[in-house]
Amino acid sequence: MGLEDQKPIIFMVGLQFMYAAVTLSSRASLLQGMSPRVFVAYRQVIATLLVTPVAVFKSRRNENKCSLGWKNFWLIFLISLIGVTINQNIYFEGLYLASSSISSAMGNLLPAITFVMAYIVGLEKINIQSSRSIAKIIGTIICVTGAISMVLLKGPKLLKQEFHFLPIHSLLSKGGETWLLGCLFLFASNCCWSIWLILQVPVSKSYPDHLSLTAWMCFIASWQSIAIAFFIEKDLQAWKLQTHLEVGCLFLTSGAIAISFFAQSWCISRRGPLFPAMFNPLCTVIVTFFAFTFFQEEMYVGSFGRLILISWRERLDHFGR
């Protein structure tokens, strides 16, 4: 493999470290009282302001400009609504209700959901006699098992000996309702993100200018997010930024989302919709480590077990590719 072939891998690994920073900082801002809907609206507006000048400058120098047209507009409107506006709103609500490590761990469902959806629409093929297909199927099963165990198999805090299954009824008491509801929001967010990855295939073919596509997604998602925030948040005080942490987090996440859209669109055009999803488990390892080490977030035996499952699953994914 030359450097050109390694670029998608380098981009996706870098994105996972960026996602980890976004998850941890966003969780801290939400716990300080910032509304998830307002958070999404602000970050989309800032992302638009950051990426649009670059896209316009590059478009002027590009002789082969892409035509927007009504077909491309509605395609971009659709992927912005599903993959950005709805996805981000329910993701940050889930992040607030659950935890940073849980939200990152739930992201491990993304490859499984994307694989199933890609198979349904014909973008992925399954051959039982192929070792690559078997590896993908086993990796999907491990992925789902790890995500389910995250909710049902909590266990004691790390380094203690007692080990037990978390009863279902305990999820609905003593704050467990927020844990379970947060997981449901995060699962729905993964479904939206998977649909976004699948739709990137026809969109990238119809509108191959990835930087301009990113600018349009950010712009359209900004108006969609603002509309949702104003509809839900009746109190205008919710739009007031209280701390320097909230301001810094907004600029960090806004820059991250702009880079993410461009990098993923570029990678999907070269490796397919399943490729970016395969790197999500790496973000879980990073977030869990930093949340446990530096932010005193509680880590349980079940969490440590998931990291083991993730490491084995990544080997299967690499073999499957």
Where does the chain have alpha helices with state H?
A: 3-31, 36-61, 69-80, 87-97, 100-106, 109-120, 131-152, 176-206, 210-232, 244-271, 274-277, 280-293, 301-320
User: Predicted confidence band at 314 (pLDDT cuts at 50, 70, 90)?
Assistant: very low
User: Cα 83 to the chain's mean position, in Å?
Assistant: 9
The residue ranking higher by pLDDT, 312 or 8, is 8
3-state SS, residue 34: coil
Q: Is pLDDT of 127 > 70?
A: no
pLDDT recorded at residue 219: 93
Q: Is pLDDT of 148 > 90?
A: no
The residue ranking higher by pLDDT, 172 or 118, is 118
The token duo for 160 is 């203690």
Distance CA 234, CA 262 (A): 34
* Single-letter amino acid, residue 205: K
Mean pLDDT of 19-44: 86
Closest by Cα among 65, 116, 99 to 273:
116
Report pTM: 0.74
Residues forming a β-bridge with 300 = 157
pLDDT digits (tens, 9 = 90+) for 42-57: 988 988 888 888 888 8
DSSP letter for 297, please: -
Average pLDDT score over the chain = 75
Inter-residue contact 190 to 110 (CB < 8 Å): yes
User: Predicted confidence band at 228 (pLDDT cuts at 50, 70, 90)?
Assistant: very high
State percent of the chain over pLDDT 90: 10
Closest by Cα among 306, 275, 98, 103 to 189:
103
The residue ranking higher by pLDDT, 296 or 107, is 107
Inter-residue contact 59 to 212 (CB < 8 Å): yes
User: Predicted confidence band at 157 (pLDDT cuts at 50, 70, 90)?
Assistant: low
pLDDT digits (tens, 9 = 90+) for 263-297: 877 787 777 766 776 776 677 777 777 776 666 56
The token duo for 157 is 């805090």
pLDDT digits (tens, 9 = 90+) for 68-98: 788 888 889 999 999 899 999 999 998 888 8
pLDDT recorded at residue 129: 67
pLDDT recorded at residue 256: 79
The residue ranking higher by pLDDT, 173 or 5, is 5
Inter-residue contact 31 to 99 (CB < 8 Å): no
Least confident of 161-165, 193-197, 224-228: 161-165
Distance CA 319, CA 18 (A): 25
Beta carbons within 8 Å of 314's beta carbon, 6+ residues apart: 278, 281, 282
pLDDT digits (tens, 9 = 90+) for 241-259: 888 888 888 888 877 777 8
Ramachandran sector of residue 175 (left: φ over 0; alpha: ψ -120 to 50; beta: rest): left
Q: Is pLDDT of 27 > 80?
A: yes
Least confident of 34-43, 44-53, 175-184: 175-184
Mean pLDDT of 134-152: 63
Q: Is pLDDT of 131 > 70?
A: no
pLDDT recorded at residue 222: 94
The residue ranking higher by pLDDT, 62 or 263, is 263
Q: Is pLDDT of 110 > 50?
A: yes
Closest by Cα among 186, 168, 148, 154 to 298:
154
